[in-house]
Amino acid sequence: MHPALESLKARFAEIDDLRQAGSVLHWDMSTYMPRDGATARGRMIATVEKVAHEKLTDPAVAALLETASGIPDATLTADDRAFLRLAQRQFTRASKIPSAFKAEFLQHMAASYDIWVHARKSNDFNAVAPFLQKTVIYSRAISDFFNAGETAWDHPMDPHIEDADPGMTTASLKTLFADLRRELVPLVRELSSREKPRTDFLSRTYPKSRQMEFLNWLAKQIGYDFNRGRQDLTHHPFMTKLGAGDVRITTRIDETNLCDGLFSTIHESGHAFYELGLSPHLDGTILGHGISAGIHESQSRLWENLVGRSREFWTYFYPHLQAHFAETLQDVSLDEFYRGINRVEPSLIRTEADEVTYNLHVMIRFDIEAQLLDGSLAVKDLPSAWNDRYEADLGMRPPSDTQGCLQDVHWYYGSVGGMFQGYTIGNLFSAQCYDGALKAHPEIPQAMTQGDFSTLHTWLKENIHQHGSSLFPQELIQRVTGQDLSSQPFLAYLKRKYL
């Protein structure tokens, strides 16, 4: 191996280790950390991230990248070329943000998250508003860093989107979302006007400990490896990768909302399958991660909806669920359960929304993020603007900020901008992915009725997971589907299923 390339790989492996050490701190903060530990934890996270950032932006990295750019292309492997491309991208982007600024922002994020947890419980937007105002200021500063020099973005949200979903912009997403909304709104109206299936059984009492037993069993049955992970409770479910042999998931349990835990577990398992399916030789390198927010979300939404809300899935799992909660579900047939979990109805909570209305929730957040960043919406006006949009788009007005603008963690533990588009990108690509899997293996649905997911896992691993970050999103989408990202396969799936 060329000495410059070898040195770069060693340096980026150290940076990756530091980031994953930081992930341990983040995971603990969101699961088991005592309430009063937030201040110290914020300082620790900031320190680790500051060291990683300084290692990444070291002038020596620039010199190594310059030397490596002169290595004859023919002497490099495909992974080497992908590594150098991603290393250059990470260095260029990180170099625009001062280390001291990043550390300061991370410490603010930890404090903001702690306040949000308690503000959400007590329906107190005013408590967290000053922190959100500061987050908006930080987020605009990040946009300004990327607008300096020769680069000029059309919208202050563009640099944030580029960070999460390379190749996408505010303008391109608005076009994509407009096409989707045009067909979704009448579809929602049509389905909402139909007679509603019963759902009373979903809000019966399901004890937390017994839910957790079933959820752990379910995760294992669909392929989650508890020798390489664990599942814990949190306020807002997430997956985190701490290493190739340690990919953790979390869930949220409501004793009177069976769907909350069920679909959170299936969703986060989908994220974990992506990270657990990476090619082993990418471990410890910057290629050893999912490539983008949208591609990652496509894997979780595929498992949550196209698999986890299918009749075939519950043909196998419902008898087990019914036996586990015999006294609660004894009067509910498989058909009633299947129709109940697929009921289409406008709702207030994004994470509990059905798959038809879900993207409307995302578009509301996307538009509000853009307005907060460009200054057309003030933080103090967020609750009323949020409520107005929900009333206009979904015909419902949130009765509280807990069910409104405080429901999602993203703006209270991260930047504002570029946070939500990945969910809809994921929904669209999940349908394209699943179409590809079924075209190659039409027997997948029948296998699911027997609790066999091995063929689907293998197809996803070979076509998506193993590549990690060696392919950019558009390259991966083209390779898997032979076309660009499109809303049409997703809309076709919804119409087949619901119409």
Per-residue confidence (pLDDT) for residue 2, from 0 to 100: 92
- Res. 149: pLDDT tops 70: no
Determine if residue 271 is labeled as part of a ligand binding site: yes
Which of 294, 208, 298, 289 is CA-nearest to residue 251?
208
pLDDT tens-digit readout, 460-484: 999 999 999 999 999 999 999 999 9
Determine if residue 289 is labeled as part of a ligand binding site: no
Per-residue confidence (pLDDT) for residue 235, from 0 to 100: 86
CATH topology of domain 170-498: Neurolysin; domain 3 (1.10.1370)
What would the mean pLDDT of 346-368 be, rounded to a whole number? Answer: 93
Residue 1 — pLDDT band, cuts 50, 70, 90? confident
Burial pattern 213-234, b for ≥16 Cβ within 10 A else e, equals: ebbbebbeebbbeeeebbbebb
Residue 455 — pLDDT band, cuts 50, 70, 90? very high
Q: Which residues are catalytic, by number? A: 268
Per-residue confidence (pLDDT) for residue 131, from 0 to 100: 98
3-state helix, strand, coil in the chain (%, to 5): 70, 5, 30
What would the mean pLDDT of 258-263 be, rounded to a whole number? Answer: 96
Mean pLDDT score of the chain, rounded to an integer? Answer: 95
What would the mean pLDDT of 150-172 be, rounded to a whole number? Answer: 89
Per-residue confidence (pLDDT) for residue 135, from 0 to 100: 98
Q: What is the 3-state secondary structure (H, E, C) of 198-264?
A: CCHHHHCCCCHHHHHHHHHHHHHHCCCCCCCCCEEECCCCCEEEEECCEEEEEECCECCEHHHHHHH
CA distance linking residue 224 with residue 226, whole number of Å: 6
pLDDT tens-digit readout, 388-408: 999 988 889 999 999 999 999
CA distance linking residue 416 with residue 414, whole number of Å: 7
What would the mean pLDDT of 262-286 be, rounded to a whole number? Answer: 95
- Res. 150: pLDDT tops 70: no
Q: Are 311 and 439 in contact (CB under 8 A)?
A: no
* Percent of the chain's residues with pLDDT above 90: 90
End-to-end CA distance of the chain: 57
In the chain, what are the domain boundaries? 3-125, 170-498
| Contacts for 132 with CB less than 8 Å, ≥ 6 apart | 112, 379, 382, 411, 412, 416
Q: Are 49 and 26 in contact (CB under 8 A)?
A: no
Per-residue confidence (pLDDT) for residue 99, from 0 to 100: 86
What would the mean pLDDT of 430-455 be, rounded to a whole number? Answer: 97
Helical H segments across 441-499, by residue range? 444-448, 454-463, 473-481, 488-498
Residue 35 — pLDDT band, cuts 50, 70, 90? confident
Per-residue confidence (pLDDT) for residue 134, from 0 to 100: 98
Q: Are 464 and 434 in contact (CB under 8 A)?
A: no
Q: Are 8 and 286 in contact (CB under 8 A)?
A: no
Determine if residue 267 is labeled as part of a ligand binding site: yes
What would the mean pLDDT of 50-79 be, rounded to a whole number? Answer: 95
- pTM here? 0.90
- Res. 373: pLDDT tops 80: yes
CA distance linking residue 94 with residue 286, whole number of Å: 14
CA atoms 426, 427, 432, 435: torsion sign: positive
Segment holding 98, helix H or strand E: none
